[in-house]
Chain A
């Protein structure tokens, strides 16, 4: 079983590759990358000019909702959404019902992922039992069952002491602690970024400082413990400053930014649809200065990864008053178009940097395979169509939930195909590859 991807622009920053190359897949692994490789009995897949072959994208922050909230998403629908969004792997958050704080839940998720057999799934375990912030979860058991990191996402780790212990203990296994950074007292019952628009619409505010306090705490404790600390879905400029300072001081801190936080601002609360519950997420869409700080951090390297915080919710749950709606939006199928349009075509970064942000860095932070097209590695490959005109249609999303604020958006850049372990798991019918052999 040999396949030769011929003539694409191969972008593999982990190996310093960026140019037109052929890529040979053999038995589900990458055999060779090079110019004008001999066909030697392989099935040839012609990659159209302008298309990009890169290591499979990895979304290190998704909510697959299974077990317990299958009306929002299941592992199967989640990974279908992932591969349609160009992701060959996702890391899923433990705030399921029950919480993924033991091997049973982890195994269930992995079994479901196996059945679905699309994207790879890396479960993330809970820091504390039931994510209640009291007792540490059985982290070694989680690790052994297949968890790659720990977090109490949805909430911050309850106390500084618990965070310290989590960092120390997880550090023993080389697992990073991923933190939903937030001071809960400062967040209060806020539902939107504290600023002009929340004031105008009468929505309770969440100041950027609520997040930055959590980032500062984590950076300090990471420094204290020497363990890896990862900031989830960063949104505030003060958080960026804290991460930047931490990195300068040599602290093992990394961070991710979600596409909605580098694309939208709190202005979306007011228009085009006032009080649209699909712009309600936590952390909230922040003001322009914060959004610009996210862009600057992406450009200057402070930001390590782009992760979607894919948070599916049933339409019934979102079809309520703004303050009653749950936080979160789906993101797997809109991330690539937003990133290509807003970051690459906007001239902020170049493609290799994007691949670093969406593939190599998440693999490195989670210490999982992938993020590279080195010969011998699993053939997890994403083929991008950087100039494809994409129109986001909420109703067409593969995810079980359609809660996106980007419905109707027209963006430049999309996914052409997704290959996991050498097997094509998604082909975009709207690209020329849709009709060819792949």
Chain B
């Protein structure tokens, strides 16, 4: 954690992201997070206009470099970039071709020879964005790296919660599902604890990362305990493709023990919000009645993703080293 930037926060409101990259929530100060969320509010308004486009990033080139299939995140970034008038370039590289093809460093350097200003990277390896930021001059935006972080997802989750609840501090937020493999979890834990929420994480013991309590959260495998009086319930995707490790006996059994049903929902606060980063497995981590029910803000999350990503793109366009303001 960056204590110096946190100390700065206390002295004055943060008005700029003085950094080259967005690699994770871990390195952001609470003030920087608030700045992104505030800026996203302004950006959200842009999406309500007849002409949903502003010239802020005119002349900037953004490369969306996706090494993992992703419809939601990539589309969201692309819309955000276009709404800011950036030139965008989408590169989707199948993981299989990477094995025999060029290295990530070489791909990035080749791209960089074409002078993009930012690279939005989605990659299956944790730390791929850190690695790229050491190799590249371009700003790197983490669109999900392995099991590490997915910072814009956490920012849009926080934005969505703040929009409804007007605050994050003091809320009980239960995050339930495959904690072990989830980058969304890690980013959300960092963000929510930094902004003072009371975070509970819940899943089968086989899917709880080692030493999770050191993140400042309460961990449990009793879903009722996690859901009890929760203001927000955030469900994480059970990655069906990873179940070969037999982390639990069957999807049916997972749903029986951890699935979010209307009955379990009764334990939460009456104004509880149900969130899911998508894509959902209905009948595994969430019952359809809950996903489609009145507490669900899942589609709001998608809509807010564009605004949050616009904010990040805009704020990072300033770069890390700031000269005297003109």
A199 contacts B131, CB within 8 Å?
Answer: no
Could you jot down 13 A-B contacts, CB within 8 Å?
Answer: A194-B210, A195-B210, A200-B186, A200-B215, A201-B126, A202-B146, A202-B148, A205-B210, A275-B131, A321-B125, A321-B128, A321-B131, A322-B125
A275 contacts B214, CB within 8 Å?
Answer: no
Q: Measured between C-beta atoms, what is the minimum distance from A366 to chain B in Å?
A: 37
Q: Which of A205, A274, A324 touches B130 (beta carbons < 8 Å)?
A: A274
Does A70 sit at the interface, judged by CB under 8 A?
no
Does A18 sit at the interface, judged by CB under 8 A?
no
Residues of A within 8 A of B215 (CB): 199-200
Q: How far is the CA of A423 from the CA of B120 in the complex (A)?
A: 58
Do A203 and B131 contact each other (CB < 8 Å), given the known contacts A195-B211, A324-B125?
no
Leading 8 A-B pairs by shortest Cβ distance: A275-B127, A202-B148, A202-B147, A321-B125, A199-B209, A202-B126, A196-B211, A322-B127
Interface centre among A204, A275, A321, A323 (most CB of B within 10 A): A321
Q: How far is the CA of A204 from the CA of B131 in the complex (A)?
A: 17
Q: Which of B126, B186, B212 touches A275 (beta carbons < 8 Å)?
A: B126
Contact string, A173-213, partner B, CB cutoff 8 A, digits 1/0? 00000000000000010000011101111111101000000
Residues of B within 8 A of A42 (CB): none
B210 contacts A202, CB within 8 Å?
Answer: no
Does A319 sit at the interface, judged by CB under 8 A?
yes
B183 contacts A199, CB within 8 Å?
Answer: no
Does A369 sit at the interface, judged by CB under 8 A?
no
Do A202 and B145 contact each other (CB < 8 Å), given the known contacts A275-B131, A321-B104, A321-B127?
yes
Contact string, A199-232, partner B, CB cutoff 8 A, digits 1/0? 1111111010000000000000000000000000
Contact string, B127-142, partner A, CB cutoff 8 A, digits 1/0? 1101100100000000
Residues of B within 8 A of A316 (CB): 103
Does A348 sit at the interface, judged by CB under 8 A?
no
B105 contacts A320, CB within 8 Å?
Answer: yes
Q: Measured between C-beta atoms, what is the minimum distance from A272 to chain B in Å?
A: 12
Q: How far is the CA of A370 from the CA of B210 in the complex (A)?
A: 45
Q: How far is the CA of A240 from the CA of B215 in the complex (A)?
A: 29
B126 contacts A203, CB within 8 Å?
Answer: yes
Do A323 and B125 contact each other (CB < 8 Å), given the known contacts A205-B210, A275-B131?
yes
Identify the B interface with A (CB < 8 A).
26, 103-105, 123, 125-128, 130-131, 134, 145-149, 183, 186, 209-212, 214-215, 245
Q: How far is the CA of A274 from the CA of B133 in the complex (A)?
A: 11
A202 contacts B130, CB within 8 Å?
Answer: no
Q: Which of B105, B126, B186 touches A323 (beta carbons < 8 Å)?
A: B126
A202 contacts B186, CB within 8 Å?
Answer: yes
Residues of A within 8 A of B245 (CB): 188
Identify the A interface with B (CB < 8 A).
188, 194-196, 198-205, 207, 273-275, 316, 319-324
A196 contacts B128, CB within 8 Å?
Answer: no
B210 contacts A275, CB within 8 Å?
Answer: no
Q: How far is the CA of A208 from the CA of B131 in the complex (A)?
A: 27
Q: How far is the CA of A332 from the CA of B290 in the complex (A)?
A: 60
Residues of B within 8 A of A200 (CB): 26, 186, 215
B130 contacts A275, CB within 8 Å?
Answer: yes
Q: How far is the CA of A53 from the CA of B183 in the complex (A)?
A: 54
Q: Measured between C-beta atoms, what is the minimum distance from B103 to chain A in Å?
A: 6
Residues of A within 8 A of B211 (CB): 195-196, 199
Q: Measured between C-beta atoms, what is the minimum distance from A253 to chain B in Å?
A: 28
Residues of B within 8 A of A194 (CB): 210
Residues of B within 8 A of A274 (CB): 127, 130
Q: Which residue of A lies closest to B146 (CB)?
A: A202
Q: How far is the CA of A145 from the CA of B190 in the complex (A)?
A: 58
Q: How far is the CA of A203 from the CA of B123 in the complex (A)?
A: 14
Q: Measured between C-beta atoms, what is the minimum distance from B207 to chain A in Å?
A: 12
A319 contacts B126, CB within 8 Å?
Answer: no
Q: Which residue of A lies closest to B134 (CB)?
A: A273
A203 contacts B214, CB within 8 Å?
Answer: no
Q: Which of B103, B146, B210 touches A319 (beta carbons < 8 Å)?
A: B103
Residues of B within 8 A of A323 (CB): 125-127, 146
Q: How far is the CA of A274 from the CA of B132 in the complex (A)?
A: 12
Q: How far is the CA of A196 from the CA of B134 in the complex (A)?
A: 24
Interface centre among A202, A205, A316 (most CB of B within 10 A): A202
Residues of A within 8 A of B126 (CB): 201-203, 275, 322-323
Q: Measured between C-beta atoms, what is the minimum distance from B18 to chain A in Å?
A: 19
Q: How far is the CA of A275 from the CA of B131 in the complex (A)?
A: 7
Interface centre among B127, B148, B215 (most CB of A within 10 A): B127
Q: How far is the CA of A297 from the CA of B130 in the complex (A)?
A: 36
Q: Which residue of A lies closest to B215 (CB)?
A: A200
Residues of B within 8 A of A205 (CB): 210
Residues of B within 8 A of A188 (CB): 245
Residues of A within 8 A of B183 (CB): 202
Q: Measured between C-beta atoms, what is the minimum distance from A200 to chain B in Å?
A: 7
Q: Which residue of A lies closest to B208 (CB)?
A: A199
Q: How far is the CA of A319 from the CA of B134 in the complex (A)?
A: 11
Q: Which residue of B lies closest to A274 (CB)?
A: B130
Q: How far is the CA of A196 from the CA of B186 in the complex (A)?
A: 12
Q: How far is the CA of A198 from the CA of B105 in the complex (A)?
A: 23
Residues of A within 8 A of B26 (CB): 200
Residues of B within 8 A of A199 (CB): 209-212, 215
Q: How far is the CA of A76 from the CA of B26 in the complex (A)?
A: 45
B127 contacts A320, CB within 8 Å?
Answer: no
Q: How far is the CA of A274 from the CA of B148 in the complex (A)?
A: 12
Interface centre among B123, B147, B245 (most CB of A within 10 A): B147
Q: How far is the CA of A204 from the CA of B105 in the complex (A)?
A: 22
Residues of A within 8 A of B134 (CB): 273
For the complex with contacts A199-B215, A202-B147, A323-B127, 8 further pairs of A-B residues with Cβ separation under 8 Å are A196-B210, A196-B211, A202-B146, A202-B148, A203-B148, A274-B130, A319-B103, A323-B126
Q: Which residue of B lies closest to A193 (CB)?
A: B210
Residues of A within 8 A of B130 (CB): 274-275
Q: How far is the CA of A207 from the CA of B183 in the complex (A)?
A: 21
Residues of B within 8 A of A196 (CB): 210-211, 214
Q: Measured between C-beta atoms, what is the minimum distance from A169 to chain B in Å?
A: 36
Q: Measured between C-beta atoms, what is the minimum distance from A174 to chain B in Å?
A: 42
Q: Measured between C-beta atoms, what is the minimum distance from A292 to chain B in Å?
A: 17
A322 contacts B131, CB within 8 Å?
Answer: yes
Residues of B within 8 A of A319 (CB): 103, 105
